[in-house]
């Protein structure tokens, strides 16, 4: 083996060992690296009990209720399998909308209601002009009527 082949082998082995170590560490930490819990995970009691955590999912269509004081809102976060009712008081981000993604931080109270102290909007990776979005929505509706 020439010296430069030895050095190459050394670096290759080092990088592979490092990648292996990183994989093990990341797998071990997987549960702690989640930014939010889904309603299904909360239902399965995977979320921390009695501690602040984040839930994420979709704002259920037609679930948004605004309080009389103008700042308090109620809505339901769903991942289509499970639902969690959320209460929040404060300004909502501009992209907060029914049927769109949301991440809320807060605590789950005894009644199973999530009292949020912060609400963030999560948007998807699709970018399109408003006309295209409108056309997509129309197509979805048309498809829905055909199925029914």
Partner 1 sequence: MSDSPLTATRAPSSGFSLFYYASPQTFFPLAGKLLWPTWIIAIGLTIAGLYTGFFIAPTDATQGDSYRIIFIHVPAAWMSMVIYLVMAFWCAVGLIFNTRLSFMMSSALAPTGALWAFIALWTGALWGKPTWGTYWVWDARLTSELILFFLYCGYMALQAAIDDPRRADRAGALIAIVGAINVPIIYFSVKWWNTLHQGASVSLTQSPSMASTMLTGMLLMALAAWAYTIGVALVRVRAIMIERERHTDWVRQLGNATAGGSKA
Which residues contact partner 1 by CB under 8 A? 4, 7-8, 11, 14-15, 18-19, 22, 26, 30, 33-36, 38, 56, 92-97, 100, 103, 118-134
φ, ψ for residue 37 (rounded to 5)? -105, 145
Token output for 100: 């769109």
Q: How far is the CB of 111 from partner 1 (least distance, A)?
A: 26
What sign has the CA pseudo-torsion 72, 76, 79, 82? Answer: positive
Q: Give the nearer residue to partner 1 in terms of CB position, either 44 or 95.
A: 95
Nearer to partner 1, 126 or 148 (CB): 126
Q: Is the dihedral of CA 124, 126, 128, 131 positive or negative?
A: negative
Other CB atoms within 10 Å distance of the CB of residue 92:
18
Nearer to partner 1, 91 or 147 (CB): 91
Name the minimum Å distance from CB 112 to partner 1. Answer: 22
Provide, rounded to whole angstroms, the least separation between the CB of residue 33 and partner 1: 5
For 101, the token pair is 């993604």
Structure tokens at 104: 């809320």
At closest approach, how far in Å is the CB of 15 from partner 1? 7
Distance CA 71, CA 57 (A): 22
Q: Contact at 8 Å (CB) between 71 and 90?
A: yes
Residue nearer to partner 1 on the CB measure, 16 or 109: 16
Q: Minimum Å distance from CB 68 to partner 1?
A: 23
Q: Which is nearer to partner 1, 109 or 139 (CB)?
A: 139
């Amino acid at each position: 083996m020439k010296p430069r082949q030895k050095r190459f082998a050394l670096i290759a082995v080092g990088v592979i060992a490092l990648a292996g170590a990183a994989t093990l560490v990341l797998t071990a930490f997987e549960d702690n690296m989640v930014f939010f819990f889904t309603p299904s995970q909360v239902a399965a009691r995977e979320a921390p009990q009695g501690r602040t955590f984040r839930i994420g999912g979709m704002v259920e269509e037609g679930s948004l209720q605004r309080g009389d004081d103008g700042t308090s809102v109620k809505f339901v976060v769903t991942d289509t399998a499970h639902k969690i009712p959320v209460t929040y008081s404060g300004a909502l981000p501009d992209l907060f909308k029914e049927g769109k993604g949301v991440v809320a931080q807060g605590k789950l109270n005894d009644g199973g209601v999530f009292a949020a102290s912060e609400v963030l909007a999560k948007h998807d990776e699709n970018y399109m002009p408003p006309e295209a979005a409108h056309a997509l929505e129309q197509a979805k509706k048309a498809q829905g009527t055909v199925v029914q």
